[in-house]
Amino acid sequence: MGRTSKIEKFYDLNIDQRLRKVAEFSDLTEEEAGILLDPDKEKMEIMDHIIENVFSTLELPVGVATNFVINGRDYLIPMAVEEASIVAACSNAAKIARSTGGFTAEAGEPIIIGQIQLVDYGNADNAKASIMKNTDRILNLANSRSRTLSSMNAGAKDINIRVLDDLSKSMVIHLLVDVRDAMGANIVNTMCETVAPFIEEITGGKVNLRILSNLTPQRIAKSRAVFPASSIGGREVVRRIISACDMANIDPYRAATHNKGIMNGIDSVLMVTMNDWRAAEANAHTYSHISGNLSLTRYYENESGDLVGEINIPISVGVVGGTTGAIQKVKIFRKILGVNSSREFSMVLASVGLAQNFAALRALCSEGIQKGHMSLHARNVAITAGARGQEAEKIAEIMVKRGNISVSSAQEIMADLRNAYNEKDNHRNET
């Protein structure tokens, strides 16, 4: 029989047994399986409770972005990312902004929307009237699911109703929930499920979906910074950056790449703090689609001829709950970041996103994106080819000069360098 991915009760196996099954299926060598085996049993036990079918872990390099001043306070920003140049570019952008006082940021209330989809409700006006008449009862029922939020005068605050004019023939009840310092997904979902039977009872309809929305238009984070023209190549570069952002605001093809650059920075911080970066991506890109501004940032020239950058972005993050406290490294990274509330965290993330976007635009509008990026990428290529330490730096330098950055080029240069070293070493021994 051929190999099969149908493995009975794979989830009941311990981690070592799962790894053996994967190794057998994939024809892994003992060396390859050994690389996947994590010897830290305590850590792996925690991992095994976070997701299903755990058999290994993946490490990403964690760097730290320096130079950030946000609302007058200094921050070091841990970032987990595989792409070369992101941490360096972010740090450099923050350094330029630092000379004019850094970033000024603010964030909206941490409101999450829970959606309850109602179908087969008969007359829409009658169903809406029944829901609005019972608003207080619905809110009280929702808030019965969280004593913590209720004690903080937070929790479910209001509802609104939308009738969707499409083939779904649905009415959607939005439950507006103040989740404070939590990301909020679990409690909002629980609230939606709790109030659903009551909504069915008072409307005569049937509830289908009961889940949060990852779009948070009330939870907007804003940041602003001034980048001196003298530090970025003069007023011509200022105008080029403004023009590039204007293009992103009207061209969806450019906007996708423009906003991806913002998320390069934000996602890296979300990953190192184990926040949901997929939700952040969906939130940001959907908001750019509905807001009337495809670009999440805007730039303009001030009276002094310097570049002013601004970002408006919906951000839903938490500093409590979830898996943020389950893994020791994540707790330490959060301590380094030093944020004390979800709103403060949102302001930091918005500032990082603006810095990353500015850095990308500056590179694009001056020397080109490849010059700095590929110089750093060349080191990764050299390491992939087998080089280490100073040898990797030297090989990267030669590849950049030659304009040929590839594994085969790195291997060729490495062979030449090692041959030259061996010849020199032999010559010394002979003399």
Question: For 318-360, how does the pLDDT look when each residue is reduced to its tens digit (9 = 90+)?
Answer: 998 766 677 889 999 999 999 999 999 999 999 999 999 999 9
| pLDDT for 77 | 98
The span from the first CA to the last CA of the chain, in angstroms, equals 65
Q: What is the pLDDT of residues 253-285, one digit of tens each?
A: 999 999 999 999 999 999 999 999 999 999 999
- Give the global pTM: 0.88
Pairing mode of beta strands 111-119, 104-107: unpaired
- Selected catalytic residue, list 128, 258, 373, 377: 373
- Selected catalytic residue, list 32, 40, 74, 83: 83
Where does the pLDDT of residue 176 fall: very low under 50, low under 70, confident under 90, or very high at 90 and above?
A: very high
Domain 372-430 has CATH 1.10.8: yes
Q: Which residues are registered as beta bridge partners of 178?
A: 111, 155
Q: What is the pLDDT of residues 204-218, one digit of tens each?
A: 999 999 999 999 999
Q: What percent of the chain has pLDDT over 90?
A: 78
32 is catalytic: no
Work out the mean pLDDT of the chain and round it to a whole number: 93
| pLDDT for 378 | 83
CATH of domain 111-212: 3.30.70.420
Question: Mean pLDDT across the stretch 189-193?
Answer: 98
Top-level CATH class of 63-78+88-107+220-366? alpha beta
Cα 188 to Cα 62, 102, 170, 285, 301: the distances in Å are: 32, 35, 20, 22, 42
| The pLDDT of residue 19 is above 90 | yes
| The pLDDT of residue 422 is above 90 | no
109 is catalytic: no
- Selected catalytic residue, list 260, 285, 329, 394: 260
- Selected catalytic residue, list 178, 181, 276, 344: 276
All structural domains of the chain with their residue ranges: 10-50, 63-78+88-107+220-366, 111-212, 372-430
Cα 267 to Cα 74, 264, 348, 350: the distances in Å are: 21, 6, 12, 11
Where does the pLDDT of residue 430 fall: very low under 50, low under 70, confident under 90, or very high at 90 and above?
A: low
| pLDDT for 106 | 98
276 is catalytic: yes
| The pLDDT of residue 367 is above 70 | no
* Alpha-helical regions (H) of 233-341: 235-250, 252-272, 277-290, 328-337
DSSP state of 222: E
83 is catalytic: yes
| The pLDDT of residue 198 is above 80 | yes
